[in-house]
Every structure is written in structure tokens, then in C-alpha cells.
């Protein structure tokens, strides 16, 4: 009898967490989005979609994800492959790569704002080296392209570690027997990488992409620290509607948009990034 109910008892804490901290807020957001004064209505969606900020926020949220995530995956893969080798000071390098993971997005935004401001470290360094004659302006509505670049740099620096840790763990799970067998048959490094390592790494890459995309759709703190509403994002505009406008229904629509994007992109990753060897027998 104990064995029969043991699996359900083991997943009970996780199930309770999902129910109370994800399920209930999701149901509440749906209710707020589709009701007004207790009655069903679509007026909330009309109010949200008629505001150009919604589509700007959607555009910039997707643009940041499209730019940042591929760079992070490639960079994390390169770093993970390097860390699979043995060299002096490897542990210190590993610590240095993981340290940004401990920093919050708000703190990361403040660090990079200080570095990239007109009187910041980067401009002072370039001026002292004589590489520029006047400071490079990163912040301000007229410099939105540079603000976008600042956000990309901050996110690559701060959150590449998430992808790196997952991919490094995946590499360590690949048996050396496959690599050694390929070497015996004369396969070079790039052939082994393309034919063995990458295909067997797909489950780890899939997991890293799903987790990183979830965070990318919720990007908020760093954007507000570095650009404010110059570069609107879905989470930021949802916060603005909730805190400043007090329009809980429209704020819920922003939250639902983030949830739907995350679900759709996650489903695409699951469908198209499944490792061939995991599909056997399906």
C-alpha cells in the first residue's frame, strides 16, 4: 500500500507549489483579463491593444530574446567545451564564469549603468587611452539603439552562466566511449563535435533554451535600470499598468501575453530540438 501511494506523496510538494504559486495567479489573471465589474467583457483587450505601447513592448521583448539567446547558447557552448579540458586555474575560471549568476537583474543593471554612463569606467578608459575624444552616449531616448546594446551586453554578462551550467552538465554526461570510438575510426575534432557531441547535447540545449526563454520573456529589472520606458518590454509595461495606472485588467493581459509566448516557444523547443536517439520506439 505504501509503495502504491509513494509516487504521489513525492510529487505532492511540487504539485502544491505549482497550484498555489502558478495555477492560482494564472486563473486570477484570466479572470481579471476577461471581466469588468464582475461581468464578462472584451473591452480590456481593446483597451490594451489600442495602446501602441503593447505592440512596442511585444516587439522589444521578442527582439531582445532573438538577439540575446542565440549569442548566449553559442558562447555557453564554447565556454563549456573549453572547461571540459584540464588546465591550471580551471576552478578559478569556473567560479568567475558563475559569479554573475548570483547577481540580480536590478543589481546587474545598476552595475552596467555605472560602467557605461558618460562618466563611467568604459568612457574614462577609452578617453585615457586616446581612443575617443568625447564620451560615448549609451542612455537617453535619442540613443535607444545604444540602450538596446547596453541591455544585450548586461544580459549576456549576467545570465549566460545559466545556459553554461546546463550545457557543461550535459557535456559531462556524454560517455567518453563514444568519443574514443570515433577517434579510433579517424573522426576529427569538428566531425566528433557535429556528429556526436551536439546531437547528444540536444536535451541539455533544449532545457537551457526553455529556461532561458522563460526568463527572457520576463525581462524587466535590467531594462528599467538601463532604459526605463525608452525600451518598453511586456513585464515592464505590465508593472507600469499595475503600479502607476492601477489598471489590473490590462496588467493581467500583459501577464497572459508573457505566459502564452513562453508556452508557445517552449512547445517549439520540445518539438524541434528532441535528440534523435530519444525518438527511437516512439
- Phi, psi dihedrals of residue 39, rounded to the nearest 5°: -115, 145
Closest CA to 94 of 105, 84, 83, 109: 83
pLDDT of residue 18: 86
How many Å separate Cα 276 from the centre of its chain? 25
pLDDT of residue 190: 87
Residue 10: count of CB within 10 angstroms of its CB = 10
Query: Which is more confidently placed, 29 or 5?
Result: 29
pLDDT single digits (tens) 77-122: 999 999 988 888 888 999 999 998 889 999 999 999 999 999 999 9
Looking at the predicted structure, is the pLDDT value of residue 242 above 90? yes
Rounded-to-integer distance, Cα 233 and Cα 269, Å: 22
Report the pLDDT averaged over residues 258-280: 80
- Phi, psi dihedrals of residue 40, rounded to the nearest 5°: -65, 135
Q: Which residues are bridge partners to 35 per DSSP? A: 40
C-alpha cell at position 6: 509513494
Mapped onto helix, strand or coil, the DSSP state of residue 87 is: coil
Rounded-to-integer distance, Cα 114 and Cα 108, Å: 10
Cα dihedral 230, 234, 236, 241 in deg (nearest 10): 110
Question: Domains along the chain?
Answer: 22-273 (1.10.3720.10)
Number of H helices, E strands in the chain: 14, 2
Rounded-to-integer distance, Cα 282 and Cα 268, Å: 18
Closest CA to 212 of 155, 252, 267, 264: 155
Q: Which residues are bridge partners to 40 per DSSP? A: 35
What DSSP assignment string belongs to 162-222? HHHHHHHHHHHHS-HHHHHHHHHTT--HHHHIIIIIHHHHHHHHHHHHHHHHHHHHT--HH
Closest CA to 232 of 215, 220, 242: 220
pLDDT single digits (tens) 172-213: 988 888 888 888 888 888 888 888 888 889 899 999 999 999
C-alpha cell at position 4: 502504491
pLDDT of residue 226: 95
Evaluate whether 266 touches 213 at the Cβ level (below 8 Å).
yes
Looking at the predicted structure, is the pLDDT value of residue 7 above 90? no
pLDDT single digits (tens) 118-147: 999 999 999 999 999 999 999 999 999 999
- Length of the chain counted residue by residue: 282
Amino acid at each position: 500500500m505504501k509503495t502504491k501511494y509513494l509516487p504521489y506523496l513525492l510529487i505532492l510538494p511540487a504539485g502544491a507549489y505549482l497550484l498555489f504559486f502558478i495555477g492560482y495567479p494564472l486563473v486570477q489573471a484570466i479572470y481579471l483579463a476577461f471581466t469588468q465589474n464582475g461581468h464578462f467583457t472584451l473591452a480590456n483587450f481593446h483597451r490594451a491593444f489600442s495602446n501602441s505601447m503593447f505592440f512596442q513592448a511585444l516587439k522589444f521583448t521578442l527582439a531582445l530574446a532573438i538577439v540575446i539567446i542565440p549569442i548566449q547558447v553559442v558562447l555557453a557552448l564554447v565556454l563549456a567545451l573549453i572547461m571540459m579540458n584540464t588546465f591550471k586555474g580551471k576552478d578559478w575560471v569556473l567560479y568567475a564564469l558563475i559569479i554573475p549568476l548570483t547577481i540580480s537583474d536590478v543589481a546587474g543593471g545598476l552595475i552596467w549603468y555605472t560602467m557605461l554612463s558618460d562618466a563611467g569606467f568604459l568612457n574614462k578608459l577609452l578617453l585615457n587611452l586616446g581612443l575617443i575624444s568625447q564620451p560615448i552616449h549609451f542612455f537617453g531616448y535619442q540613443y535607444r539603439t545604444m540602450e538596446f546594446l547596453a541591455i544585450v551586453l548586461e544580459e549576456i554578462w549576467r545570465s549566460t552562466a545559466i545556459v553554461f551550467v546546463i550545457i557543461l552538465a550535459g557535456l559531462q554526461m556524454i560517455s567518453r566511449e563514444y568519443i574514443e570510438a570515433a577517434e579510433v575510426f579517424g573522426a576529427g575534432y569538428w566531425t566528433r563535435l557535429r556528429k556526436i557531441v551536439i546531437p547528444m547535447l540536444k536535451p541539455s540545449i533544449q532545457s537551457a533554451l526553455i529556461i532561458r526563454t522563460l526568463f527572457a520573456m520576463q525581462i524587466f529589472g535590467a531594462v528599467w535600470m538601463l532604459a526605463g520606458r525608452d525600451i518598453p518590454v511586456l513585464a515592464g509595461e505590465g508593472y507600469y499598468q499595475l503600479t502607476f495606472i492601477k489598471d489590473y485588467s490590462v496588467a493581467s493581459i500583459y501577464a497572459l501575453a508573457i505566459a502564452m509566448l513562453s508556452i508557445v516557444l517552449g512547445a517549439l523547443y520540445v518539438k524541434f530540438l528532441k535528440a534523435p536517439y530519444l525518438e527511437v520506439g516512439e
